[in-house]
C-alpha cells in the first residue's frame, strides 16, 4: 500500500503530503530510449549503463523488452531505435487539432516569402518544432520536426511563454540554464522577463542572433476557438541589412494572416 507522509503547518495542524505514484522502474526504462540521438545512434548495454548510471542487469532487462516490442533493434551487440518508435510521434502529431489544417497554410506562406516557416510547441524550457516547410535556399540552421531550441533564445519561445499564466511562466523560467550560445544571447532572467512583457504587449516576437549569429526570426501565437494559445507560427531567415524592417513590415502581416487561417479552420 502506498504510504503517505505527514507533517504539520506553522499552526501545528496535521498536513498530509500527496502520495507518490511514480514508477521509478518505468522512468529508468524510458530514459534508455532518450539516450539515442543523431550523435549516438548505436549504443551497447555498457554504453547506456554508463550514460545513465544504471546497473547493467537493469539496462539489459529493459533493452530486451524494448527489442521484443520493436522499439529497439540489435546489430552486433549494438542497439538502435526501431521504426515502432515513430508510432508515438505520429499519434501525438495527428492528435493535434491544427496538424491537418496547418500544413497547407505554412506551405503557402513559405512560397510567398521564400523563407523557412515553422510551427512550434513548448516542452518545459524548450521549443519543439512540430511542423516545418524549409526555404529553398540552403541554410546552416535548418531544424527538422522534433528538434529543439531553448525557449528563451527563440521568438517562438517568447510568444509561447508570454501566453502562459504567471505561475506556469515562473516555473519554466526558473528552470532555464542561461548559458550563452552567442554573444547576443539573453543572459539572465530579468532580460527574458523584459522581452516576454514586450511580446505580450505587442502580440508577436522578433529575435536576432540569439541562437545562431546568422539568423533572425519573427513569431506570432496560434489560438484555439476558445482563445487558448495552442502553438506559435514562425518565419526564420538569414540576417540582412534590413532584417528588422522586412520582418515587421513584410513578414509579420502574412504571419498574422496565416495564424488566423489556421484558427478559422479549427
Q: How many CB atoms lie within 10 A of CB 63?
A: 21
For residue 202, the SS3 value is: helix
Pair 162, 200: CB distance under 8 Å:
yes
CB within 8 Å of 137: residues ≥ 6 apart: 114, 238
Write down the pLDDT at residue 12. 57
Tens digit of each residue's pLDDT (9 = 90 or more) over 20-56: 667 888 999 999 999 999 899 999 999 999 999 999 9
Question: Mean pLDDT throughout 225-242?
Answer: 93
> Would you say 152 and 186 are in contact if contact means Cβ atoms under 8 Å apart?
yes
CATH architecture of 96-265: 2-Layer Sandwich (3.30)
For 128-172, how does the pLDDT look when each residue is reduced to its tens digit (9 = 90+)? Answer: 999 999 887 655 555 678 889 999 999 999 999 999 999 999 999
Nearest-angstrom CA–CA distance, 72 and 88: 14
The pLDDT score that the predictor gives to residue 210 is 96
How much is the pLDDT for 197? 97
Binning pLDDT at 50, 70 and 90, where does residue 66 land?
A: very high
Rounded to whole angstroms, how far apart are CA atoms 195 and 206? 10
Residues of the chain with CATH 3.30.450.40: 96-265
Q: What is the pLDDT of residue 146?
A: 87
The closest of 236, 233, 188 to 211, measured between CA atoms, is 236
CATH architecture of the domain with range 16-83: Orthogonal Bundle (1.10)
- The pLDDT value recorded for residue 150 is 96
Tell me the pLDDT tens digit for each residue of 185-220.
999 999 999 999 999 999 999 999 999 999 999 999
Contact 123, 148 (CB under 8 A): yes
Residue tagged 527574458 (cell numbers): 192
Q: How confident is the model at residue 4 (pLDDT cuts 50, 70, 90)?
A: very low
User: For residue range 76-120, what is the model confidence (pLDDT) as tens digits?
Assistant: 999 999 999 999 888 998 889 898 899 999 999 999 999 999 999
pTM of the model: 0.83
Q: Which residues, 6+ apart, have CB-to-CB distance to 8 below 8 Å?
A: 14, 15
Report the pLDDT value the prediction gives residue 5, as an integer from 0 to 100: 46
Q: At which residue does the C-alpha cell 513548448 appear?
A: 122
Among residues 235, 233, 260, 245, which one has the least CA distance to residue 112? 235
What value, to the nearest 5°, has the Cα angle with vertex 89 and ends 88 and 95?
90
What number of other Cβ atoms are within 10 A of residue 152's Cβ? 28
Whether 161 and 173 have beta carbons less than 8 Å apart is answered as: yes
Range(s) of the chain covered by CATH 1.10.10.10: 16-83
In the predicted model, what is the mean pLDDT of the chain? 90
In this predicted model, which residue has the larger pLDDT, 8 or 205?
205
Beta strands in the chain (DSSP E): 6-8, 14-16, 72-75, 78-81, 116-123, 126-133, 148-150, 205-208, 215-223, 229-238
Spatial separation of the C-alpha atoms in residues 43 and 79, rounded to whole Å = 5
Amino acid at each position: 500500500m502506498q504510504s503517505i507522509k505527514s507533517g504539520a503547518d506553522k499552526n501545528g495542524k496535521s498536513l498530509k503530503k500527496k502520495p507518490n505514484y511514480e514508477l521509478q522502474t518505468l522512468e529508468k526504462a524510458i530514459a534508455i530510449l532518450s539516450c539515442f540521438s543523431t550523435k549516438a545512434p548505436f549504443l551497447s548495454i555498457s554504453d547506456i549503463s554508463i550514460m545513465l548510471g544504471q546497473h547493467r542487469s537493469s539496462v539489459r532487462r529493459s533493452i530486451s523488452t524494448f527489442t521484443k516490442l520493436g522499439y529497439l533493434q540489435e546489430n552486433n551487440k549494438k542497439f538502435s531505435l526501431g521504426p515502432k518508435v515513430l508510432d508515438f510521434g505520429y499519434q501525438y502529431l495527428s492528435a493535434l487539432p491544427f496538424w491537418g489544417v496547418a500544413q497547407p497554410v505554412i506551405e503557402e506562406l513559405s512560397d510567398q516569402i521564400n523563407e523557412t516557416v515553422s510551427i512550434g510547441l513548448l516542452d518545459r524550457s524548450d521549443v519543439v518544432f512540430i511542423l516545418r516547410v524549409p526555404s529553398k535556399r540552403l541554410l546552416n540552421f535548418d531544424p527538422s520536426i522534433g528538434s529543439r531550441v531553448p525557449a528563451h533564445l527563440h521568438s517562438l519561445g517568447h510568444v509561447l511563454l508570454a501566453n502562459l499564466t504567471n505561475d506556469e511562466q515562473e516555473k519554466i523560467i526558473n528552470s532555464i540554464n542561461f548559458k550563452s550560445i552567442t554573444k547576443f544571447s539573453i543572459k539572465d532572467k530579468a532580460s527574458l522577463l523584459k522581452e516576454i512583457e514586450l511580446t505580450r504587449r505587442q502580440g508577436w516576437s522578433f529575435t536576432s542572433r540569439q541562437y545562431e549569429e546568422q539568423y533572425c526570426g519573427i513569431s506570432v501565437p496560434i489560438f484555439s476557438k476558445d482563445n487558448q494559445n495552442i502553438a506559435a507560427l514562425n518565419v526564420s531567415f538569414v540576417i540582412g541589412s534590413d532584417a528588422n524592417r522586412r520582418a515587421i513590415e513584410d513578414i509579420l502581416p502574412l504571419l498574422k494572416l496565416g495564424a488566423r487561417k489556421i484558427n478559422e479552420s479549427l
